[in-house]
Amino acid sequence: MRLRLWKWYQNCLAYHPVKTQVISSGFLWGVGDVAAQYITHSAKSRLQISSVSLQKLDHNQRLMYQDADADFRINWKRVAITSTFGFGFVGPVGHFWYEGLDRFIRLKLHQQPKSLQFVATKVAADGIIFGPLDLLVFFTYMGFSMGKNVQQVKEDVKRDFLPALILEGGVWPIVQVVNFRYVPVRYQLLYVNIFCLLDSAFLSWLEQQKDAAWKQWFTSFDSLKERGGQGRL
């Protein structure tokens, strides 16, 4: 069954590469958002349980708190919005990015495929160009899709962009070294999309964290830089 599914995917990719990448990206980003919603719900439920002294509750009340996860409801509007990001941005842009990046480095920079320099150049370009662009578009798109105005979107981007960039910066280079060294170009976006299943869950969770206390470290660091710059003027 798995082999048949893989052959079917290869056939779709061969005849309809962009369409296949778009559909698979949208699907995986949607699944990732469902996972993020469940993670957020579970965390809130456990926090609620831990904040209540269970000894003071009767048996029925304990069951109500302990079964809080059973009340989980998927926000399908949010899933649709996140999936659309996969369909409209990650799929098409990612397809042409990986194809174009490979051709540019091979044909313009004349680097040997799979060499250390070739892989390092790809990882650097992906981390400096595509990674930040992907995060910027994601947070901007999610903000406007939720009905926020320009000022609110700017505040969200300022709050979420730097934490996401730093946290993802410790993971994606490792993922991409394997990708650019061992995965054929036509399958590189699929490989990335598999990790995007986790990444979309992380970004959706991060966006839902709003003004969580742990984010204040990043914003306070940014504020210190701004004050330091003003002090030098």
Model confidence over 180-219: pLDDT tens digits? 999 999 899 888 888 877 776 777 666 666 666 656 666 5
Q: Do 199 and 134 meet the contact criterion of CB atoms below 8 Å apart?
A: no
How far is Cα 160 from Cα 210, in angstroms, rounded to an integer?
8
Query: Higher-confidence residue: 64 or 11?
Result: 11
How far is Cα 43 from Cα 39, in angstroms, rounded to an integer?
6
Residue owning tokens 């914003």: 219
First to last CA, the chain: 67
For the chain, the average pLDDT equals: 81
| Tens-digit pLDDT profile for residues 105-133 | 999 999 999 999 999 999 999 999 999 99
Angle, CA of 9, 177 and 202, to the nearest 5°: 70
How far is Cα 87 from Cα 120, in angstroms, rounded to an integer?
29
The pLDDT of residue 88 is: 95
- pLDDT band with cut points at 50, 70 and 90 for residue 95: very high
Q: Do 61 and 126 meet the contact criterion of CB atoms below 8 Å apart?
A: no
How far is Cα 134 from Cα 96, in angstroms, rounded to an integer?
14
| Tens-digit pLDDT profile for residues 45-66 | 665 555 554 455 555 555 555 5
Please give the DSSP secondary-structure letter assigned to residue 70.
G
Please give the DSSP secondary-structure letter assigned to residue 56.
G
Task: Dump the DSSP string for 186-206.
Answer: HHHHHHHHHHHHHHHHHHHHH
R_g of the chain computed on alpha carbons: 21
Q: Do 118 and 180 meet the contact criterion of CB atoms below 8 Å apart?
A: yes
How far is Cα 4 from Cα 163, in angstroms, rounded to an integer?
41
Q: Do 122 and 176 meet the contact criterion of CB atoms below 8 Å apart?
A: yes
How far is Cα 42 from Cα 45, in angstroms, rounded to an integer?
5
The pLDDT of residue 40 is: 76
Q: Do 106 and 173 meet the contact criterion of CB atoms below 8 Å apart?
A: no
Instruction: Name residues whose C-beta falls within 8 Å of residue 12's C-beta, 6 or more positions apart in sequence.
Output: 19, 20
- The b/e string for 187-197 (b: 16+ C-beta within 10 A; e otherwise) is ebbbbbbebbe
